[in-house]
Structure 1
Amino acid sequence: MMNNSKAFDVAILGTGFSGSVLGSILARHGYKVLLIDEKEHPKFAVGEATIPQTTMMMRAIADRYDVPEIGACSTFEGIHEHVTSHCGVKTNFGFVYQRPGMPQNPKEVTQNIIPHLLVGYDCHWFRQDLDAYLLTVAIKYGAFVRQNTRVEDLVINKEGVYLKTHQGEQYSARYIVDSTGFKSILAKQFNLRESPCRFNTHSRSIFNHFIGVKPYDECADSNSLWGVPQAWHDGTMHHLFAGGWMWVIPFNNHPKSNSNLCSIGVSLDTRDFPKTDITPQQEFDSILAKFPGIALQFENARPVREWISTDRLQYSSERCVGDRFCLTAQAGGTIDALFSRGMANTVDGLYALGDLLLKALEDNDFSAQRFEYFNHLQQRLLDYNDRLVHCSYIAFSDFALWNAWYRVWSFGGLLNVFRIKKMQDQYKETGDLASLNGLNNPSYLGSLCPGSRQYEELFNAAASAVEAVGEGKLSSNVAANKILSLFEQPDFVPSMFEFSSADRRYNCTFDFDEIVKIFAWSKSASPDVQKLCF
């Protein structure tokens, strides 16, 4: 395989989001990059809802590695100007609790508002357009692409990496990155998958794109019944019920959007909803029949693609790096789409991997030890997300418990927005890339707010309370009250958020006046928060 091969610095398996972003970074810095995919664009992909951590870290990647096209994909406005008009806007996370056979109770809802004045508007990504665009960015900077190409033979040794395709083509590289996802070639070749999977979350999914989905705001006589500050249709909506949840991601919720589609999916705890022989459509219809509060949205809706139905979603790998190779993003493991953290974890990993790989290419040292930080980061991100999601599935059993637990996630995300924004503002003021160094060197890797000891203590205490409910050691009401009491720290938690009050079921609306109040509060906040965020 070494004879007559085409030589590259890095070979990347997979031309989706992760592979194309990394390929763009490496090619932008003058390295020869090979991107191989057994399929071709456009292609369907999940990971369609962004969160501030995802989009802000994309801007950090664009700045750190001088690839402005990646930054253009980080806002609703940038997507529509540079990429596609088929994406929707996202201004909030909406959570609506549903009970079997009952109409929805307007008091059993929570809503998390995205602080767009600080971070801009997030997006609902029509992934087939976005991923195809990112691949063209890699091509623009010089990456060589082979689509509809299957790797039939792969050898990694101390001299290099050697590939042979089903068409008989031969390639060599100094390093290889696997971004192929669940069917990871390297995970299979090196037997990296853990059996059993170490994660506590046990869920499966069915999903599709729909047309004719009614905005949930039209499913009641008056929007004021819910008492939340924003329209459900303006954000990513979640129907919650004991044992599972449904996502509604509209691509058609803005006047600038030319799409008529919504992404619809259901994730179910396999222990409460074991997989059967019925079709995904039949299972979806059974859920609508069970929850009349959800069925209202789908009276005139229909799917437009073939359904995708999974077995258990969760899988893990004992390691994500080795000599001359690594597994990125979903090639290493995955949890669940809840909270849209899969893409956030992906960009966190890419931000770190880019620097490590550029230095390794310069030094010609591709030992696993050089990439151990990347392995540790990815494993911690997965383990943390597993605990977050596992506790959420437990909390779905009781609205009071969910109402308390969701604000732990909400507050951590808010603190992290301020942490990232502080570093990005410093970079804009100084132009010094060292301002961004702290993005991947926090004290608590994987955490929702990885630089705060106080938040880590709050998260651990709250998660332990939820887990005690799952183990039958604590009642839901006792656990909910215990979690709410954790927010009674005025030097750590902004008082205007009223996080300790069960009656406040949404965070601040983040208009200009409220942002001013938050900064005023920061003057009396704990030293931990002041150092972290302000």
Structure 2
Amino acid sequence: MAGMMNSFDVIVVGGGPAGTTASTLLAQQGHHVLLIDRDHHPRFHIGESMLPMSEPVFKRLGVSLDAQEYLPKNGAEFIDEVRGGSIRFPLAGQYQPYQVERAKFDLMMITNAAKQGVEVHQQEMVKDVVCDEEKVSVRTDQASYAARYLIDATGRSAMMGRRNNTIRRIENLGKFSLYTHYSGVDAEAADTLFETGDVKIIIVDIGWFWVIPMTGRRLSVGLVVQKDVSAQDRGPELFERYLAASPMLTAALQGAVAEFDIKAEADFSFANEKRHGLRYACCGDSAGFLDPVFSSGVFLAVKTAEAVADRLHEALVDGREGDPDLHAVGDDDYHTAFNSMHMFVDRFYHTGLVHNLFFVAERSEELKQDILGLLAGDLWTGTNDFQHKLLRSRQSQKLNINK
């Protein structure tokens, strides 16, 4: 099929980190891969904070996140300015995480995919997809294509999940976010942000702020709201009111300029109850997306894409890509990661995790290391007692997803 005009081994829809990871890994193995993206890169995207355990995937892809282009991220600090208390978790160790401007980072990833043999089509919109026992057929606004397999990496658009009506909203996490970027962050109060590269999580009574430093003395600042607020109070004024109430933010942003009007996103946590089927698989956010408090988005995107690509490569070689249960073998690993982070976020909002655990002086060193492991994305060791407790509590509350 790959020798026919407009025919490929694999079609990947979506040019974010999941799509570029999956397509690059498959092209490296000699497969004929088409990546279709509706946008043109560079394009703005939120989600700038990486986790350490993403680095091995980047090395496989042949991309380098050096300190000239991206800011090394050395830790994560949780702060409550009103009630008092703070704790910093150091994240740099065996692997170095970074804070990245997503427009630049995603452009690097899609450019690398093209260099490694992926046929990249930008500004092309998928209109229809049919997966049957013989092949995959994709129709866009520009052409029609055939392939042996489809990878849905469409992010929160979740193309296959919404077509199949298998998207389930996850309740009671962050309800919406308001955010912008600031440039000219030259105040002395911001110096330590850029020296350490730490992400700051500032707890407020309706949710929390993220504060992410980037190269060029720039900050990404966002307010995630978990409490109910009236519809008329969901605009920029809410963001500005809470920002003005934060001594840390007002000092750091003195003289800084917002690069764009405050943007809003809502209802962003969901699970896809059918992440794979006949000749298709979902990876990244199209498989499920969680509240961003622990910065797991890009990490889960590249790790799920890596797993899908590796299984699919073997199946393509053996002619097994038509097996609708091809990716069932990876379900346990996926559930371990997604459910662990889900319960971690759930505990953040509903058990006073920060004050009752993070800020507690008598917390054991073993527990701190277990928490640090989750914050780093080290989710498959099997030895993290805190992670085991999270998963057991999930079972007891009957919150399991896809089981």
Q: Same fold (TM over 0.5)?
A: yes
> Structure 1 CA distance, aligned partners of 2:275 and 2:366?
29
Sort the Cα spacing of 1:114 and 1:409 in 2 relative to 1 into closer, same or farther, 3 A: same
Specify the alignment match of 2:76 in structure 1.
Answer: 93
* Per-residue deviation, residues 411-460 of structure 1 (Å, max 9, x unmatched): 2255589xx9xxxxxxxxxxxxxxxxxxxxxxxxx984532164544556
Among 122, 126, 146, the alignment partner of 1:172 is: 146
Partner of 1:267, secondary structure, is: strand
Which structure 2 residues correspond to residues 36-75 of structure 1 after superposition, within 5 A? Answer: 36-59=36-59, 62=60, 67=61, 69-70=62-63, 72-73=64-65
> Structure 1 CA distance, aligned partners of 2:257 and 2:247?
17
Deviation at 1:287, TM superposition (A): 0.8
* Per-residue deviation, residues 465-522 of structure 1 (Å, max 9, x unmatched): xx9xxxxxxxxxxxxxxxxxxxxxxxxxxxxxxxxxxxxxxxxxxxxxxxxxxxxxxx
Partner of 1:368, secondary structure, is: coil
CA contact (8 A) 1:213 1:298 kept: yes
CA contact (8 A) 1:93 1:113 kept: yes
> Structure 1 CA distance, aligned partners of 2:194 and 2:183?
19
Deviation at 1:11, TM superposition (A): 0.2
Partner of 2:267, secondary structure, is: coil
> Structure 2 CA distance, aligned partners of 1:189 and 1:306?
33
Partner of 1:451, secondary structure, is: coil
Mind listing any 5+ residue stretches in structure 1 that lack a counterpart? 224-229, 253-258, 421-445, 468-534
> Structure 2 CA distance, aligned partners of 1:396 and 1:302?
34
CA contact (8 A) 2:22 2:306 kept: no
CA contact (8 A) 1:449 1:455 kept: no
Higher share in strand: 2
- TM-score, scaled to structure 2: 0.86
Specify the alignment match of 1:30 in structure 2.
Answer: 30
CA contact (8 A) 1:155 1:162 kept: yes
CA contact (8 A) 1:243 1:397 kept: no
> Structure 2 CA distance, aligned partners of 1:406 and 1:331?
37
Specify the alignment match of 1:391 in structure 2.
Answer: 347
Specify the alignment match of 2:125 in structure 1.
Answer: 150
- TM-score, scaled to structure 1: 0.66
Identity %: 22
> Structure 2 CA distance, aligned partners of 1:335 and 1:231?
27
Specify the alignment match of 1:334 in structure 2.
Answer: 289
Sort the Cα spacing of 1:240 and 1:372 in 2 relative to 1 into closer, same or farther, 3 A: same
Partner of 2:305, secondary structure, is: helix
In structure 1, give the amino acid aligned to 2:343.
R
Deviation at 1:398, TM superposition (A): 6.9
Among 179, 186, 191, the alignment partner of 2:165 is: 191
CA contact (8 A) 2:194 2:214 kept: no
Sort the Cα spacing of 1:353 and 1:204 in 2 relative to 1 into closer, same or farther, 3 A: same
Sort the Cα spacing of 1:247 and 1:414 in 2 relative to 1 into closer, same or farther, 3 A: closer
Which structure 2 residues correspond to residues 476-491 of structure 1 after superposition, within 5 A? Answer: none
Structure 2 residue 15 is the aligned partner of structure 1 residue 11: no
Structure 2 residue 87 is the aligned partner of structure 1 residue 110: yes
In structure 1, give the amino acid aligned to 2:181.
H
CA contact (8 A) 2:336 2:379 kept: no
Sort the Cα spacing of 1:396 and 1:207 in 2 relative to 1 into closer, same or farther, 3 A: farther
* Per-residue deviation, residues 13-54 of structure 1 (Å, max 9, x unmatched): 011111111111111111110110111100112221122222
> Structure 1 CA distance, aligned partners of 2:225 and 2:195?
22
In structure 1, give the amino acid aligned to 2:16.
G
Deviation at 1:396, TM superposition (A): 4.7
CA contact (8 A) 1:150 1:166 kept: yes
Deviation at 1:336, TM superposition (A): 1.3
> Structure 2 CA distance, aligned partners of 1:185 and 1:385?
23
Which structure 2 residues correspond to residues 50-449 of structure 1 after superposition, within 5 A? Answer: 50-59=50-59, 62=60, 67=61, 69-70=62-63, 72-73=64-65, 76-77=66-67, 80=68, 85=69, 87-99=70-82, 105=84, 108-116=85-93, 118-119=94-95, 121-167=96-142, 169-194=143-168, 197-198=169-170, 200-213=172-185, 218=189, 233-252=196-215, 259-269=216-226, 272-274=227-229, 276-278=231-233, 280-366=235-321, 367-396=323-352, 399-404=355-360, 410-412=368-370, 414=372, 448=379
> Structure 2 CA distance, aligned partners of 1:23 and 1:30?
11
> Structure 2 CA distance, aligned partners of 1:459 and 1:210?
36
Question: Relative contact order (C-alpha < 8 Å, sep 6+): which is higher?
Answer: 2
Deviation at 1:372, TM superposition (A): 0.8
> Structure 2 CA distance, aligned partners of 1:123 and 1:453?
24
Partner of 1:309, secondary structure, is: strand
In structure 2, give the amino acid aligned to 1:412.
D
In structure 1, give the amino acid aligned to 2:22.
L
Partner of 1:277, secondary structure, is: helix
> Structure 2 CA distance, aligned partners of 1:275 and 1:232?
39
Sort the Cα spacing of 1:398 and 1:143 in 2 relative to 1 into closer, same or farther, 3 A: closer
Measured on the aligned residues, the alpha-carbon RMSD in Å equals 3.1
CA contact (8 A) 1:192 1:317 kept: yes
Deviation at 1:5, TM superposition (A): 5.6
The structure that has the greater radius of gyration is 1
Among 376, 383, 390, the alignment partner of 1:452 is: 383
CA contact (8 A) 2:50 2:295 kept: yes
Partner of 2:288, secondary structure, is: coil
> Structure 2 CA distance, aligned partners of 1:242 and 1:348?
33
Deviation at 1:302, TM superposition (A): 2.8
In structure 2, give the amino acid aligned to 1:128.
A
> Structure 1 CA distance, aligned partners of 2:145 and 2:199?
43
In structure 1, give the amino acid aligned to 2:178.
I
> Structure 1 CA distance, aligned partners of 2:197 and 2:134?
53
Partner of 1:310, secondary structure, is: strand
Deviation at 1:192, TM superposition (A): 1.6
> Structure 2 CA distance, aligned partners of 1:7 and 1:57?
28
CA contact (8 A) 1:193 1:316 kept: yes
> Structure 1 CA distance, aligned partners of 2:180 and 2:303?
27
> Structure 1 CA distance, aligned partners of 2:365 and 2:265?
30
Partner of 2:232, secondary structure, is: coil
In structure 1, give the amino acid aligned to 2:382.
G
* Per-residue deviation, residues 291-329 of structure 1 (Å, max 9, x unmatched): 445433333233212432112221111120011001111
How many positions carry a matched residue from both structures? 389
Higher share in helix: 1
